Structures are given as structure tokens and as C-alpha cells.
Structure 1
Amino acid sequence: MFYTGIVVEAYARLKSADFDPQPYAEFVETAGQPGLEIGCGDGNPLLALRRRGLDVEGVDSSADMLERCRHRAATLDLDVTLHHALMQELSLERRYRSIYLAGPTFNLLPDDQTAVRALRAIREHLTEDGTALIPLWVPGPTPADELGVAREAIGEDGALLRYTPVSEVHDTVSQTRTTTTRYERITPAEIEAVQREWILHWYSPDQFRVMCDEADLHVTSLVDDEDRPATATTTDYTVTVQRN
């Protein structure tokens, strides 16, 4: 997923919560190093893991997000290795004992074919004893009373940043949610505006297990957020996989 300009700034300022680094640190410590965070964005939780001394690299599809991450790392006096690549086109020299996505970034892949390509790329970047951690989400429709309602924040330079979900199509057949969003950056001199579509694609636990089989990955765990086996009605679940 590409981010540019005011979309990056608005995302960084308006995201509702930061990821707790503890579960990802524990995963890397247990599965082993080196680690790779896919979809590292501007460095959350990657930089927290680096501060703990963990050998973890990051990859993201957005050059602008990676530049923000480098700036944050420099501010914290941290060394960090970052890669610019699409998840499904990952081709790095190093192999990793632990690969993880922080949050349901995998849901940003638009269709099953792209998802299987990404799973195959993850497999190719695991060591023989490596493990990958993939959080997933089955999103419901955005509540109607939230469409057309703006959220605002102040940018680093004092500009007003505004995010508005304009409209949405929630398609249970294709298992996609497409939200048209408008980003604005407002200063006394000008108003910049970008409108784009966010596509989320979801899978049932059984569907995802089949895709892992197709990518030659063995599912070692598939659990909900209370560590219980995920069922057909589970909306938040985490999958761990290893090479077959």
C-alpha cells in the first residue's frame, strides 16, 4: 500500500493507537533472530524492538513512510535497516528466523491471488526453522453515522490535518471493504486535498489455512485474541506459520 504526502502526515497524526511492542518483542525473542517487520510504516513497533537491542529489520511499500521511520530512528539515535518493497514482491538477501506483521496489514492486499504471492514471499524469507506471525481481521461496515464525519489533528508545522471517510462499499461476496476517504492539509495559505480508496480484503480462518497450504506453509497456530482456536465467526485472529 502506497502512502504519499499529506496521506502520510495525516496517518501519522490521526492513527487511533500505537501497537504495544511487547507481544512482538516476545515473538522475536521466542522464534529467534534476525527478525523482519513487514509493513513497518514509520517505525511502530519496530523502533521499540530496536531499542531493546533486538536484531529486527523493517520493510514497507511506502518510501515516504520509510523516510519518517529513518528520521524517528535518528532522533532516537538508533541504527535501523529498512527495505522498500511490496510484500508480495519481497526479494531480500537475508533470511529471518522471525517475520511478523504488526496489526492486520495483510488485509491491505486486495485479493486472494496477491495474498498467496505474499505468503510465498514470506516463506522464501524464512529460515528452515523460522516462524511468521500474521494478525488478521474480518472488518464490518463502517457505522453510517461515521461516514462524512471528519477527524482532525495538528501537524508538526501547525497545519490542520483532516481525514473524512466519504463513502463505503462492504461486499460480502468479494470479501472486501472499499472506503473512499478524503485527506486535507489546511494552512492560512492553501488547502491541499487528496481523495483515495482504502481496500480491505478479509478471509475466514478456513480460507486462510487453505491459502497457506497453497503457499507451502504449515499453520502451527490459529487463535483469537484470547488465545482460543479461531472459528468461522471469529473476527480477530492471529496465524503463525512455518515452512513445510
Structure 2
Amino acid sequence: MQSMYSGFFTEFYDILHAGLTDVDAYVEFARKFGPDVLELGSGTGRILIPLARAGFRVTGIDSSDDMIARCQVRLALEDEAVRSKATIVRQDVTKFQLGKRFDLIIAPCNMLNHFLEPGLLIRALRNVKRHLKPTGVFILDNGIPDIPYMVDINRVERIAAFEHPLTGTKLIHRCTTTYDFANQLEYNTVHLEEYDEVDNLLREAAYTSTMTYYFPRELRLILEMSGFELFHEQGSLHQDCPIDAGSTEMVFFAR
């Protein structure tokens, strides 16, 4: 069984996330707080490469060899001017040591939900703090848990179909999520299948994963316990609006 960031799933990652609209927001944040940027969990370069294209010096850290390899393949297709701006390092977020500090450090797209215990997240964030310049800024964005939706999908298989953008093959993504609401844990079982035009099965893979989820008050306290000063927050990546009952995401800006 593969992991969610290896093999077939690494290839599928870019397809699954193709509709996200967060890249432009992070380019704008880099224009405001850059130019030296560190991305936590840079994966296949979905955000890292556009930042490099925009002229920022960007370092990405990730713990998945397959994700890093895919990022390097994508970077190889870019001009030298872009490649020279990007650095990718295999590191653990809780104990990475890069020997430099950054103007801006970002943790996009629910990256923090990989830290199942608050203590582990605090350890990681204290390390992040050590890599910020004195005037540097840390930005994280996480989805706000939608409890009614989570109750509705609990233990229900969800099936989605995609077309592979390069080959035109059909991809079927099956996911069953089980929630432990008392401990804020999310257990996912995922099966991915690829079919040709006459429905012959070409590839399949499966993985299980455990994630957590955080609420705004928790993350505010965790940031404070990690040594950060929260100086701004908003309920959307794309507009400066308060975090309220209608918000689906939380974006925190800290020093």
C-alpha cells in the first residue's frame, strides 16, 4: 500500500489540486513580505514554482522523496532564471535546519493538519520561528472544520471521476473518511483507479492516512505557545474579512 504522497498518488496530486485558487494569493503575500520565501510542505511545486516564476527566492521543504522528484521534473521544464530561484530540500518540519532566515514562511492548504498532536505542532512552529528574520512573517491557511458536513460524510464512500490531462484516461477516486470527533482525528481510506477508453483497468493504488483538524481558537493559542505574535487574521485568502460563522478558511499572519 502506498502513502498519499508516493507513486501513483504523487501524479494524481496535481490533478486533484488543479482547481485551487491559492497560488495568486501567495504570490501577492510574497510581494508584500518577501523576497526570501520558505514553503513548508512544498510537494510537487504547485506554489513554489509560480513563486519562483514571479522572481522570488523560494526554498521548499518536504519529506516525500516522490513529491520532491516530481517537483524537480517540473522545475527542469522551466527557464534557468526560474530554476535559479528555487531550492528544494528533504527535511522534517519539526527539526529542519537550513542555516538561514527568511522574510516569509508559508504553510499552505491545511499543511498543519498533518501534525496529529498539538505538542508536535508546537515543536514544528518553534522551529519555524527560529527560521524567520526579525521582521519576517509566517502565514498559514487552514480550512475551518465544517462539522455538519463531516457528520454527513462520516463512513460514506465518496466517488469522483477525473480525466488525466496528459493521457485522457479516466481516473476514479474513491475515499471513505471516518471521524473520531472526540479526539479530532480523521481516518481516510483511498483507492485510485485508472481506465483506458474501453474501461480496461490500467493502474490502481490504495492508501490509508490519519489527519487532524484545528479550530481558530486552537491555532491562535498554539501560535502564542510557539512564540509567535499574531498580528492579523482573515477568513479568506482572497479578501481581508473577519473569521466568522460563515468562513470556510482561516488565514493567520504572525511574527
* Aligned equivalent of 1:177: 186
1:196 shift after superposition? 1.9
Pick one of 93, 100, 115 that aligns with 1:94.
100
User: 2:163 and 2:62 mapped to 1: Cα distance?
Assistant: 24
Pick one of 232, 239, 242 that aligns with 2:252.
239
User: 2:168 and 2:246 mapped to 1: Cα distance?
Assistant: 44
* Map 1:199-214 → 2, pairs under 5 A: 199-214=210-225
Are 1:107 and 2:113 matched, yes or no?
Answer: yes
2:144–2:216 CA contact under 8 A, matched in 1? no
Q: Spell out, residue by residue over 1:128-186, the C-alpha distance to the aligned partner (whole angstroms, 9 max, x if none).
A: 11110000113332854972424233374666543211x22123221222221112345
Are 1:218 and 2:224 matched, yes or no?
Answer: no
* Aligned equivalent of 1:50: 52
Q: Spell out, residue by residue over 1:193-241, the C-alpha distance to the aligned partner (whole angstroms, 9 max, x if none).
A: 3322233322222211111121111111122114233247754110111
Tell me the TM-score normalized by structure 1. Answer: 0.86
1:205–1:232 CA contact under 8 A, matched in 2? no
User: 1:143 and 1:17 mapped to 2: Cα distance?
Assistant: 24
- Quick one: which amino acid aligns to residue 50 of structure 1? A
Alpha-carbon spacing, 1:125–1:89, altered in 2? closer, same or farther (3 Å): same
Q: What is the identity percentage for the equivalent residue pairs of Structure 1 and Structure 2? A: 24
Pick one of 27, 30, 40 that aligns with 2:29.
27
1:103 shift after superposition? 2.0
Q: Spell out, residue by residue over 1:8-57, the C-alpha distance to the aligned partner (whole angstroms, 9 max, x if none).
A: 11222233514443221221222232111112111112211111211112
User: 2:169 and 2:218 mapped to 1: Cα distance?
Assistant: 44
Alpha-carbon spacing, 1:190–1:223, altered in 2? closer, same or farther (3 Å): closer
* Aligned equivalent of 2:6: 4
* Aligned equivalent of 2:172: 162
- Quick one: which amino acid aligns to residue 121 of structure 1? N
2:126–2:227 CA contact under 8 A, matched in 1? yes
* Map 1:106-125 → 2, pairs under 5 A: 106-125=112-131
1:190 shift after superposition? 6.8
Alpha-carbon spacing, 1:21–1:12, altered in 2? closer, same or farther (3 Å): closer
Pick one of 61, 64, 73 that aligns with 1:62.
64
1:184–1:192 CA contact under 8 A, matched in 2? yes
Gaps of 5+ in 2: none
